[in-house]
């Protein structure tokens, strides 16, 4: 019996509704239970006679969903009451502009750490709004690692420090909550690893993340603000949709919020809590990612991982084979065997296996078996 019947059969049968293993980097796989609950509520949300998409954002029913979603995120991350939790539109990308607008201080310089495509983009946007100091970059080694805490070279007049905890495209993760020396606000783009492990909130002042990887669907970004960040932002007089202060004062109902996306995040957060919280999410991430990294490490050079071992992402595994022809063949065969969206980002090439919280461990088992079989047949 070939690989196709023996391995694919058992693992794909584990999935309901004819679903496949979706390795997309975002929007990514959602928990089936969350999709089922949304389906059941779709036409008539809990007897209100309408869907969440059709409800006034000022209605009691929507307000209940909205505040419960905020409470669930506070519970999962242990966010104190004097911190802000915002749900904003514009994706994670809008925060590239909102961070300097809300946090920059006249006469001081934002310091950025550049570990890959997303950090790089944030720097590009911040530079349009004022001078920026790049305290550290891994560009010379093609963004394959993150710095140790004492490596960045901060300027004397730093206003805030900015870093990307997990570079989704390169698959580079700090795997810790860094503690940099200057006592200034620390901003983190946590889009692709938020809620994937317990963390020390006290190391951060601003955490933001597009929802479509580890929290829900596209259309909303979460922004978490420390009292220190709120204090700085409260001094700014910015247009409504660019102001953290105005969003915070209105609990993110300063205009029509992305109600459906927030509702979906609420279901997702409840799922995280029910499954065992961040400890359990971390355990699953470790299991999934080590299955794949073990195959890479034991492949005698057939597979090459992009990130250095000390910064290997547990969410996005970027790797390739020895040549582009084989990469193409790998992607085609993987697709034919129910492993979809596994091509690497066009800027890096090769393959990328993104496995967020909701990605089943059985999908990582299938990929690991397939990788071993593919290497045997093509080495
Ligand atoms: C780390 C990181 N930051 C920012 C973004 C941009 O997110 P959005 O498309 O929500 O603007 C992405 C998207 O993949 C990402 O992975």
Residue 6 has pLDDT above 70, yes or no: no
Ligand 1 atom nearest 93 alpha carbon = 11
Ligand 1 atom nearest 167 alpha carbon = 1
Q: Which residues pair with 209 in a beta bridge?
A: 222
Average pLDDT, the chain: 96
Cα–Cα distance, 231 to 205 (Å, whole number): 11
- Please give the distance, rounded to the nearest whole angstrom, from the Cα atom of residue 114 to the centre of ligand 1: 15
Please tell me what DSSP assigns to residue 313: -
Asked if the 3-22+276-378 domain carries CATH number 3.90.1150.10, the reply is yes
Distance of CA 306 to the CA centre of its chain: 18
Q: Mean pLDDT over residues 297-324, rounded?
A: 97
Cα–Cα distance, 315 to 355 (Å, whole number): 5
pLDDT digits (tens, 9 = 90+) for 74-129: 999 999 999 999 999 999 999 999 999 999 999 999 999 999 999 999 999 999 99
pLDDT digits (tens, 9 = 90+) for 274-293: 999 999 999 999 999 999 99
CATH 3.40.640.10 residue spans of the chain: 55-274
- Bridge pairing between strands 84-88 and 133-137: unpaired
Distance of CA 361 to the CA centre of its chain: 18
CATH 3.90.1150.10 residue spans of the chain: 3-22+276-378
Nearest CA to ligand 1 atom 5: 92
Q: Mean pLDDT over residues 130-157, rounded?
A: 97
Ligand 1 in reach of 51 Cβ (< 6 A): no
Residue 3 has pLDDT above 70, yes or no: no
Residue 1 has pLDDT above 60, yes or no: no
Select 55-274's CATH number: 3.40.50.10330, 3.10.450.50, 3.30.300.130, 3.40.640.10. 3.40.640.10
Residue 257 has pLDDT above 50, yes or no: yes
Q: Mean pLDDT over residues 206-220, rounded?
A: 98
Q: Mean pLDDT over residues 302-328, rounded?
A: 97
3-state secondary structure of 183: coil
Q: Which of 24, 87, 89, 91 to mutate to test the pocket of ligand 1 (most atoms within 8 A of CB)?
A: 91
Output the pLDDT for position 346.
86
Q: Which residues pair with 339 in a beta bridge?
A: 21
Label residue 14 by pLDDT band (50, 70, 90).
confident
């Amino acid at each position: 019996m070939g690989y196709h019947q023996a391995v694919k059969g058992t693992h794909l049968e584990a999935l309901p509704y004819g679903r496949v293993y979706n390795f997309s980097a975002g929007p990514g796989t959602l928990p089936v239970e969350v999709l089922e609950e949304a389906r059941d509520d779709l036409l008539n949300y809990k007897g209100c006679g309408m869907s969440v998409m059709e409800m006034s954002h000022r209605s009691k029913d929507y307000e209940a969903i909205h505040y419960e979603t905020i409470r669930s995120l506070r519970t999962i991350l242990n966010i104190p009451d004097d911190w802000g939790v915002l749900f904003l539109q514009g994706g994670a990308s809008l925060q590239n502009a909102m961070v300097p607008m809300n946090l920059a201080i006249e006469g001081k310089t934002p310091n950025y750490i550049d570990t890959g495509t997303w950090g790089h983009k944030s720097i590009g946007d911040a530079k349009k709004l004022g001078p920026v100091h790049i305290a550290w970059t891994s560009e010379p080694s093609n963004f394959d690692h993150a710095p140790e805490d004492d490596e960045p070279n901060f300027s004397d007049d730093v206003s805030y420090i900015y870093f990307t905890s997990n570079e989704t495209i390169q698959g580079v993760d700090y795997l810790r909550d860094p503690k940099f020396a200057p006592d200034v606000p620390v901003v983190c783009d946590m889009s692709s690893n938020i809620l994937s492990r317990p963390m020390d909130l006290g190391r951060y002042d601003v955490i933001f993340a597009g929802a479509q990887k580890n929290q829900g669907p596209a259309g909303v970004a979460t922004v978490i603000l420390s009292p220190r960040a709120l204090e700085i932002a409260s001094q700014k007089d910015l247009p409504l949709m660019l102001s953290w202060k105005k969003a915070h004062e209105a609990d993110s109902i300063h205009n029509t919020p992305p109600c459906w996306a927030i509702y979906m995040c609420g279901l997702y957060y409840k799922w995280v809590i029910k499954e065992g919280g961040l400890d359990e999410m971390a355990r699953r991430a470790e299991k999934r990612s080590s299955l794949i990294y073990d195959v890479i490490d034991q492949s005698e050079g057939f597979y090459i991982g992009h990130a250095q071992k000390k910064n290997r992402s547990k969410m996005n595994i970027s790797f390739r084979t020895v040549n582009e022809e084989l990469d193409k063949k790998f992607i085609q065969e993987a697709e034919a065997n129910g492993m979809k969206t596994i091509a690497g980002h066009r800027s890096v090439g090769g393959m990328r296996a993104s496995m967020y919280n909701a990605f089943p461990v059985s999908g990582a088992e299938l990929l690991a078996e397939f990788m071993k079989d593919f290497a045997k047949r093509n080495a």
